[in-house]
Amino acid sequence: MNFSEFDALMMQRALDLAEKGIYSTKPNPAVGCVITQDSKVIGEGWHRQAGQLHAERLALLDAQQRGFFVKGATAYVTLEPCSHTGRTSPCSDALIEAGIGRVVVAMQDPNPLVCGQGIQKLQAANIPVDVGLMQERAESLNLGFIQTMKTQLPFVRLKMATSLDGRTAAANGESQWITGDEARKAVHFMRAKHGALITGIGTVLADDPSLTVRLTDEELASINLTQDNCHPIRVILDPHMSMPLDAKMLSLPGRTIVMTSKASAESQRSQIDAFYAKGIELVAVAAQDDVLDLESVLHYLAQEEKVTDVMVEAGSIVAGAFMRSGFVNELHCFVAPTIMGDKAKPMFTLPGIEAMSDKLPLAFQSCNLVGQDVHLVLTPTTQKG
């Protein structure tokens, strides 16, 4: 399909609108829509929050409020208009009923409830539909949504803060702070983008972390969040139910789920009531030799909690387990210009390799300076998710 320069400009605008919702729409995808008539923008919209109007309906409403008629107009949408009734009615129906004359779609919806059916419905109503304009960027806005729909597992980002020589804590366990203020701020924005934040019980026992999003009201408003809805679910991997009942996070906003083994949940029934009394949600998952099965953890979050994007912030044991698992989609390393020496704690607890052919290969995606620290984004070249 040959798209015009005007088509490209309008889809770029729709993608910019969609990007406004990447923090607030979860677990829904971020979507933008632009409606044009005679080469003029007459309506715009972007999906703000799950359960609220979708981008197409907001764009139609915007055009109506501006006093424009949309019959015969062109709609540019970053994701295929939905064809099923969820919390809102189908957007494909809204476009048809409004008399839209053409629809340009960046990418097909991977949701099995849609997956081409929205496009087919529009075409059945004799509306031309052109698909694939700026598809790569459209996909990049909704990596978690796409992955969850295709694999039933969330997109996993493993974040590490490290010295130049790959150390994450001093020999005595002290880890605050390796990186500077700007990098730590960037991490809080990262947290706000995710539905769940995973750490291990070792980190809880050693650091008593808050695992909250600590941004100002103004900063949250800039990403369409508030202090009430910005915190990801805290997920603690705790095979022996060792979670301290006086942990700091339990008195802070947000939910806390302790993932434990089925054997521990069965043998420590007396502890369960104490957990519930502190507001802890307990989930038993598959485990082997007291090691929780990470696929079971991720599957639960995707299927039961509707989490599409997971961030892992943990010590070397859990970080190493995730890297070995093959479920890490992106590795985010904030590297400080400092050296801590060989007695400090390493990034990963991993078995040493016998030959270079056994190394874990990664591909660089980006490298940016954040304050005095470097933010590296890498992807494992082999992944399960």
Active site annotation includes 136: no
Are 295 and 327 within 8 A, CB to CB? yes
Are 296 and 152 within 8 A, CB to CB? no
Q: Is position 175 annotated in a ligand binding site?
A: yes
Q: Which two tokens stand for residue 76?
A: 């540019």
Q: Is position 198 annotated in a ligand binding site?
A: no
Helix (H, G, I), strand (E, B) or coil at 204: helix
Q: Is position 318 annotated in a ligand binding site?
A: yes
Q: Is position 109 annotated in a ligand binding site?
A: no
Residues facing 45 on adjacent strands: 33
In the chain, how long is the greatest CA-to-CA distance? 71
Residues facing 77 on adjacent strands: 33, 105
Q: Is position 203 annotated in a ligand binding site?
A: yes
Q: Is position 378 annotated in a ligand binding site?
A: no
Are 165 and 339 within 8 A, CB to CB? yes
Q: Is position 332 annotated in a ligand binding site?
A: no
Neighbouring C-alpha atoms within 13 Å toward the C-beta of 67: 0
Closest CA to 167 of 356, 333, 370: 333
Spot the catalytic one: 5, 19, 44, 56.
56
Q: How many CB atoms lie within 10 A of CB 37?
A: 17
Q: Is position 54 annotated in a ligand binding site?
A: yes
Q: Is position 72 annotated in a ligand binding site?
A: no
Closest CA to 152 of 109, 108, 112: 112
Q: Is position 91 annotated in a ligand binding site?
A: yes
Q: Is position 46 annotated in a ligand binding site?
A: no
Q: Is position 316 annotated in a ligand binding site?
A: yes
- What SS3 string covers 218-234? HHHHHCCCCCCCCCCEE
* Binding-site entries for substrate: 175, 191, 203, 211, 214, 313
* Binding-site entries for Zn(2+): 54, 82, 91
* Binding-site entries: 54, 82, 91, 161, 175, 177, 191, 203, 207, 211, 214, 313, 315-321
* Binding-site entries for NADP(+): 161, 177, 207, 315-321
Where in the sequence numbering do the catalytic residues fall? Answer: 56
